[in-house]
Each structure stands twice: as structure tokens, then as C-alpha cells.
Structure 1
Amino acid sequence: SFTMVVAIISVHFENGLFMANNGYEFGLALLAASVSLAFSGAGKAALDNFLNKKFS
């Protein structure tokens, strides 16, 4: 998450929001996805969930 915030501020912010101008739209989407996974967890899609079922 921290890496995406730094990338948005240092590289993409001055180009505006939209990706057509190399803006921060995609970085913001990646930031939202990583924060969402950090708070809620991957659940059934998690790799450790799959490995626990396979080797148990």
C-alpha cells in the first residue's frame, strides 16, 4: 500500500486522474484492492487455505 501511495504522489499525480495521460487511476485501483485484501483477507481464494486442505 505504501508503495502505491508513493508512486501516485511522486510520479502520477501531476498527470491527472485518467490513465490516458499516465495518471493515477490505475495506481488508485491497485491501492484500493490491496487495502481491501489487507483488511478482509483473501478467504476461500487464499493460497494458504488451498494448501491447508491439500496437505491435511
Structure 2
Amino acid sequence: MQLLSDCSQDAHKNKQGKISKTQWSCVYDLKNKKVTICVNENYDAKYTISVLE
């Protein structure tokens, strides 16, 4: 998640003049079948969800 935080995109205007930025970042734990999600570049608030079948 630190790597995703380091390369996240700050808010800026894109070529169409709309605001663009990193909206979410996900790290998948395939062994334990979980995903950790951060929203709106808030890497201090992590949500981990089990994705068991």
C-alpha cells in the first residue's frame, strides 16, 4: 500500500478540464483471500474485506 501511496495522483485538471485524482487503491492478498482498500488517497484509513467464496 505504501507503493500505491507513493505513486498516487494528486488532484489536477485533465485535458478535458475536469478534476482527476487517485480515487481508490487496492492490495489483493491472494493467499488469504482478502482485499485492502483505501479511498480518496486516505492511506491512513484502510478497509480489509474477506473475499472467500
TM-score, structure 2 normalization: 0.35
Larger strand proportion of the pair: 2
- Of structures 1 and 2, the larger Rg is shown by 1
Larger helix proportion of the pair: 1
TM-score, structure 1 normalization: 0.34
